[in-house]
Structures are given as C-alpha cells and as structure tokens.
Amino acid sequence: MQNLLKNYPVIIEIPIAWGDMDAFQHVNNINYFKYFESARIAYFEKIHFNEQMIKTGIGPILANTHCKFKIPLTYPDHVSVGAKVDVIENDRFLMKYLVVSHKHKNIAALGEGMLVSFNYNENKKAAIPDEIRAQITNLEKNVNQDFQGGLGSFVKKRRSPTHP
C-alpha cells in the first residue's frame, strides 16, 4: 500500500465514518473532495503557505477540482490520502491526490485540483511567491528527484487528468 503512495510527499490517514455513507451504502462522493481538502491543507501546512498568506495576503484559491472514482469505499475502513504538486506555472499549480483504501489495499480514487495564487488584499491573481515555490520544489524533490520546480515542471504529464 505504501508503494502506491511513494511519490506523494504528504500523506494523511482518515477513518471512514458511518455517516460518510449514503443511501446506496457507500461513501458519498462529496466526502472524497473533503479528503482532498484535508490532504491539501496538510500540504499547505508543510510548506507554510498559511504563514505566507498572513504576511503578504497572497495565498491559494481553488480554481477547479475533479475526482475519478475507482472502487467504492464503505464503513469500516481507513484511507490514506496523498497530495503532491505535479505542475507549477507562474501563478498556479496542479495538485494531485491519491486515495488508498486500507481494507482493499488498493486505489479508491484519483483526483486533482488547480490552485491559483491569489492576492486577497487586491482581489486578483498573483505570482506564486518565490518562498512558496522553493518550499514546493524542496518537498517534491524529497520524493521525486526529477522534479524541477520551475515553470512548466512535468507539463508533459498535464494532459492526463487524474493520473497518479
């Protein structure tokens, strides 16, 4: 199972709650986006994005997100959720997510979200702060030596949405 998440520098574990299931007796799709959000926030905490936002007013805003469901999740179970940055551009980056079921020892969902760097004081897009770009690059290089961190990193993979 850890092998599935080896390219993800941030991994969190989340228990499946009984209340996460819907009338069809599997985890409702909205919960997958909550899993992505939790992993994304853990990633931001690791790179100190919140501190940067408080200091400069520049922080991330989610432009779009989607999920490819692979197997249904049910209670009881735990999932490990990985987050990584796959593409960095001047004012945005693509974050990918992987949800792995402990019960099934398999991928339950793949996801991604495009995050835009946003100046909340001026209400407009902004370049990703150099400090944040460096933090992302350092974090990603710890698990993937090919990560460049500059403009267009891994652009060749971008054409494949929801690819681990």
φ/ψ of 66, rounded to 5, equals -155, 165
Percentage of the chain lying above the pLDDT 90 cut: 85
**Contact of 38 with 75, CB cutoff 8 Å:** no
Query: How many alpha carbons lie under 13 Å from residue 103 in its C-beta half-sphere?
Result: 12
CATH class of 2-144: alpha beta
Q: How high is the mean pLDDT of the chain?
A: 91
∠ at Cα 116 (110, 122), nearest 5°?
A: 155
What does the pLDDT look like over 78-131, one tens digit per residue?
Answer: 999 999 999 999 999 999 999 999 999 999 999 999 999 999 999 999 999 999
Cis peptide before 72 (omega within 30 of 0): no
Dist CA 58 CA 53 (whole Å): 5
The overall pTM is greater than 0.95: no
More confident residue, 70 or 150: 70
pLDDT at 77 over 60: yes
Q: Tell me which DSSP letter residue 28 carries.
A: -
Using pLDDT thresholds of 50, 70 and 90, give the confidence band for residue 23. very high
pLDDT score for 2: 76
pLDDT score for 153: 42
**Phi/psi zone of residue 157: left (φ > 0), alpha (ψ -120 to 50 degrees), beta?**
alpha
